[in-house]
Structure formats: C-alpha cells, structure tokens
Amino acid sequence: MSHVELLKQYELKATPQRLCVLGVLEKYGHATLDDIEKYTKVKFPTLSLSTIYRNLNEMLKKDLLSEVKLVNKKDYFEIKKEKHSHLICKECGKIEDYTIQTDELVEQIETLTSNKILSATVSFDIICKECLSTK
Amino acid sequence: MSHVELLKQYELKATPQRLCVLGVLEKYGHATLDDIEKYTKVKFPTLSLSTIYRNLNEMLKKDLLSEVKLVNKKDYFEIKKEKHSHLICKECGKIEDYTIQTDELVEQIETLTSNKILSATVSFDIICKECLSTK
DNA sequence: CTATATGCAAATAGTTTGCACGGAT
DNA sequence: ATCCGTGCAAACTATTTGCATATAG
C-alpha cells in the first residue's frame, strides 16, 4: 500500500511532510527521532522539528506507527506491521525484525499465574552473523 | 543483604540519600523517577532532584539497578536481581515480576537465524487476576 | 472554501553540571 | 586533610504550544 493510501486509511491528510517521515521509516525500518530529523532534512530542508514531533505523536495515536523502547538506546519508531520481535546486535547496533510464535509461552504463563495475558513483547540482544563472521 | 552492604559491594558510599532511594525501590519493587521523588520526600524532604538523578545514574552504571522501558509508560527503576520478565496489568497498572525459562526460545532463534543470541527480554501485557475478579 | 497542517518562536519540561559546603574515613 | 556526596542554581537538552500563514481535500 502506498503511504498516501496508508495515511488516508488512518484519516490523516497526506502532506509532503508526513510522506517524507514515512519514507525515512520505510527506508530504514527503524529510526530514532534524530535519524528522522537528519534524513528528512536531506530531501526536505524546511521540515521543522515541531512538525516531526506532531506527526510522530499523531501517527502513534492513530496506531499507524509504533514505538520501540530498548534499554541504553534511544526510542525507535517504525511503521506498524505484524507483531514481531527485535534482534539487536550489540556489536553493530543494527536492529532486525523477526516473527516468533509466542502462543505457547503465553499459554504457559496464563496457566501458571491465573492472569489473562493480552500479548507478549520480546526482544533479543545478539551478535549478528555478519559481525560474527568478520571477527 | 542490607542496603548498606549492597552499596559497599558496588563500591558506593552508603549515604542516607542513597539508602532512602533504595528503600523506596525495595518497598515498591519498581518506581519511576516521579515515584522516587515523591516517596523519598516523605522521609527525606531535603533530598534534591539532582542527587536522585546522580544516584540513579551512578547505580545504573555500577549495575546495582536496572531500568525498565515500556511503551506508553514512564521508565521504571528496580534493584537488579535475577533476570526476569514483567507482567504489566493494563487495568490497574501494576507490574509483577515473573521468572520464565527462555532457553528454548533462544536456542530456536539461534538455530533459525544463525545469529549468536546473548539474552532475551520479555514482557507481557495482562489483566491481573485481581482485576479480573472485580469485574 | 474550510478544516487541518505547518513553521517559527516562545514556553515548558526533563536532565546535567559547576561550585561551595559538609561529612566520612 | 582529603575525597566524595550533596544542594542549589544555572545551563543545557528535549518536547510542546500559540499563532499567523499555507495547503489538502
């Protein structure tokens, strides 16, 4: 789906500024606020920081984006997609997405604790295969 | 272990300010910066915010504390203990600790992706049994 | 045409730092 | 006596907001 359609679907106007932010998120997969500011300025030098903040907040609220929080890292933004976990390389910092089945885990905890489990969020600290091979 | 001993073990002086912060963390299990400020002020009205910041940063650096980041929540601090996951009740906001075995999950991802997995971080959004029962 | 989005500047919130003083070893 | 920790104020960084103008639909 094009970003224009995506924005329409979430009842947001398809402004050049929003398309530019989405372009960066699409291209890099995950991006911090600083990344977004830096990379959008290349194509769109007049895009203001307050517009970036407003649009990120708007798109988060409408659930078009999601925010990823990792200890010792700045928060990342990504275009919302199928629920997935993150593999963070401690060597090069790269973040990969990976979809895992958590049903078993969820069921297990639900049974053991008598709580209702709504969802599981999982991330992994890794050394990626590229970093492993260049050592 | 007493907090005095704990601090000594990490090569930090056992000041009343630090003990007060640890007291709050111990009592509440997890606490945000605001919680810490609020609850320490009860017993220690002169404790300054910059001392809280400095001490939290110091204790994080020395690995005596850990920081928990959750989407849509302020960051929480806790006294470091055995690796565990967090169960967050979407109804009452309470955070419970729970220790799960992630070895299987880790092995599975390691095999499937050819990365070296260092650790897994897991959290669950839940409705806790107390909230379930009072509906 | 109308409602919403934008840019800029100012306001507010969050965090860190310099410095003089005080307490522990 | 020396070192480290603290409180306070100031500095700095991050985020939000008000307002006049511009623009998408």
pLDDT value for B100: 93
Q: What are the boundaries of each domain within chain B?
A: 3-79, 85-133
Tell me how many residue pairs between chain A and chain B have CB atoms under 8 A apart: 99
Average pLDDT over residues B102-117: 94
Which of B69, B98, B115 is opposite residue A109, by nearest beta carbon?
Answer: B98
CATH 1.10.10.10, domain B3-79, yes or no:
yes
3-state secondary structure of A59: helix
| pLDDT at residue B80 greater than cutoff 80 | yes
Query: What is the per-residue pLDDT for B14?
Result: 96
Average pLDDT over residues B116-131: 97
Gap between the Cα atoms of B2 and B6, Å rounded: 6
- Cβ contacts of A20 within 8 Å, gap of 6 or more: A40, A43, A44, A47
Q: Give tens-digit pLDDT for B23-32.
A: 999 999 999 9
Q: Which two tokens stand for residue A73?
A: 């890292």
The answer to whether the C-beta of B18 is closer than 7 A to strand D is yes
Nearest DNA or RNA nucleotide to A52 (CA to C1'): C6
- In chain A the first and final C-alpha atoms are separated, in Å, by 40
| Superfamily for the B85-133 domain | Ferric-uptake regulator, C-terminal dimerisarion domain (3.30.1490.190)
Residue range B54-77, pLDDT digits in tens? 999 999 999 999 999 999 999 999
Q: Is B104 helix (H, G, I), strand (E, B) or coil?
A: helix
